[in-house]
């Protein structure tokens, strides 16, 4: 018989993802935020662990559990288990940390640590091959999680983003508006990508060049450009049209990435504007990949 699972809201966070993508940083950030953290809990013990937490004297704690490829033998059962727990009323939020293969290879070369799947039956395996196998093993979890692309993130930036994400309260879909620079690559966590490079560029106006899309002079300049307002309105209309469908699909997060050349003016302005326009319709999060890296 399955242990009884409490049906009231429970602050349970599952952190998973590709080895080298920042899970240790994420868990330290959650621990600093007051979460009780458990590293590499065997998936077959997850249900029992939740039941014990609900019987705990003083009530359930905020708990973060990290699961990775070290539990490879149990991973095929974890994705269905996540679905089952959610259907039983457990408010489980799953975050999947990912990074480009190039970024992962660079990190492993810097730390000189072996990949968990670098050996198979005592035979060496190329790092790129190990990363690809890991992606396949974790694909089911990735589909059920909020994906965070850490390829271009500093540790402090990842920690701040994750603390912001777990701080969002309320039911339904959370919209994440993320600005980025195309010259540094498209975020892996994007569900939709919109290209704002066709809009007038404040970079070519001397007094606006050192500012960002969060500054009033840049915002006023872009708001005076008919094509900028037209594009913003079209993006808003598209998201508004399909927002209910994504909510009905039981998604927790939807990431809308807005890119321009340098990730400083147009994309930042658009992300800020859309976050304001959707604040009354859905919980929202703002990310400025390039600008946050400078903070």
Q: What confidence tens digit (pLDDT) does each residue in 95-114 have?
A: 999 999 999 999 998 888 88
Structure tokens at 259: 């890119």
d(CA 295, CA 292): 5
Give the whole-angstrom CA distance, residue 260 versus residue 290.
11
Spatial separation of the C-alpha atoms in residues 74 and 89, rounded to whole Å:
23
CA nearest neighbour of 260 among 185, 193, 182, 204: 182
Q: CA 157 from chain center: how many Å?
A: 12
pTM for the structure as a whole: 0.78
From residue 145, give the alpha-carbon distance in Å to each of 14, 129, 139.
Answer: 9, 24, 10
Provide the residue ranges of all domains of the chain, joining segments of one domain with +.
12-166, 174-294
Question: pLDDT digits over 35-77, tens only?
Answer: 999 998 888 888 888 888 878 776 668 899 998 887 766 777 7
Class of domain 12-166: alpha beta
* Contacts with 207 (C-beta within 8 Å, 6 or more apart), sequence order: 217
CA-to-CA distance for 151 and 273, rounded, in angstroms? 26
Residue predicted with more confidence, 82 or 6: 82
């Amino acid at each position: 018989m399955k242990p009884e699972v409490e049906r009231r809201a429970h602050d349970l966070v599952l952190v998973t993802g590709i080895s080298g993508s920042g899970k240790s940083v994420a868990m330290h950030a959650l621990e600093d935020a007051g979460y009780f953290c458990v590293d590499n809990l065997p998936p077959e013990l997850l249900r029992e662990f939740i039941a014990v937490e609900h019987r705990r004297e003083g009530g359930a704690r905020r708990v973060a559990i990290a699961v990775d490829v070290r539990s490879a033998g149990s991973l095929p059962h974890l994705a269905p288990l996540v679905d089952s727990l959610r259907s039983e009323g457990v408010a489980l939020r799953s975050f999947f940390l990912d990074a480009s293969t190039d970024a992962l290879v660079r990190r492993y070369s810097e730390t000189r640590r072996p990949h968990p799947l670098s050996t198979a039956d005592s035979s060496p395996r190329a790092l790129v091959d190990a990363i690809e196998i890991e992606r396949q093993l974790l694909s089911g979890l990735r589909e059920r999680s909020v994906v965070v692309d850490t390829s271009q993130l500093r540790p402090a930036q990842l920690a701040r983003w994750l603390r912001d994400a777990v701080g969002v309260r309320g039911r339904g879909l959370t919209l994440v508006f993320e600005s980025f620079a195309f010259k540094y690559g498209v975020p892996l966590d994007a569900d939709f990508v919109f290209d704002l490079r066709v809009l007038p560029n404040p970079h070519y106006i001397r007094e606006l060049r050192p500012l960002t899309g969060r500054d009033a002079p840049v915002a006023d300049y872009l708001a005076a450009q008919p094509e900028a307002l037209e594009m913003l309105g079209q993006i808003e209309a598209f998201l508004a049209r399909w927002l209910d469908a994504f909510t009905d699909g039981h998604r927790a997060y939807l990431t809308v990435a807005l890119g321009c050349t340098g990730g400083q003016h147009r994309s930042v302005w658009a992300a800020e504007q859309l976050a304001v326009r959707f604040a009354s319709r859905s919980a929202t999060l703002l990310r400025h990949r390039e600008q946050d890296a400078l903070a």
